[in-house]
A = this chain, B = another copy of it.
């Protein structure tokens, strides 16, 4: 299978990392709780986006191939475990 292009996910995660640095600075500066909380929610939104990107490519590549090779069922089990956890974050 060809290597999946991860440019988008890489850029999203680098942005998330940069924002976490910013939040660490906010904590140090004793900034207002609600403002800190909003920034954490913003990072979570980026991680959510990254995860959906990964899942979409997973369906389009790995799961597709597995179905074509007649072994898609175990892939479905794997995805369901991830989706079950998705809800909990």
Contacts and interface: CB of A to CB of B under 8 A. Distances in A.
Residue from the set A14, A57, A63 with the largest chain B CB neighbour count within 10 Å: A63
Nearest to A70: B68
Judged by DSSP, the binding face of A is helix
A4 to B, nearest CB: 7
Given A78-B34, A82-B37, A89-B87, A17 B14 contact: no
A2 to B, nearest CB: 10
Given A27-B6, A60-B76, A72-B64, A52 B13 contact: no
A62 to B, nearest CB: 6
17 contacts: A10-B28, A17-B17, A17-B20, A17-B21, A33-B62, A37-B54, A37-B58, A38-B82, A38-B85, A40-B47, A41-B85, A44-B44, A44-B48, A45-B88, A56-B76, A56-B80, A86-B87
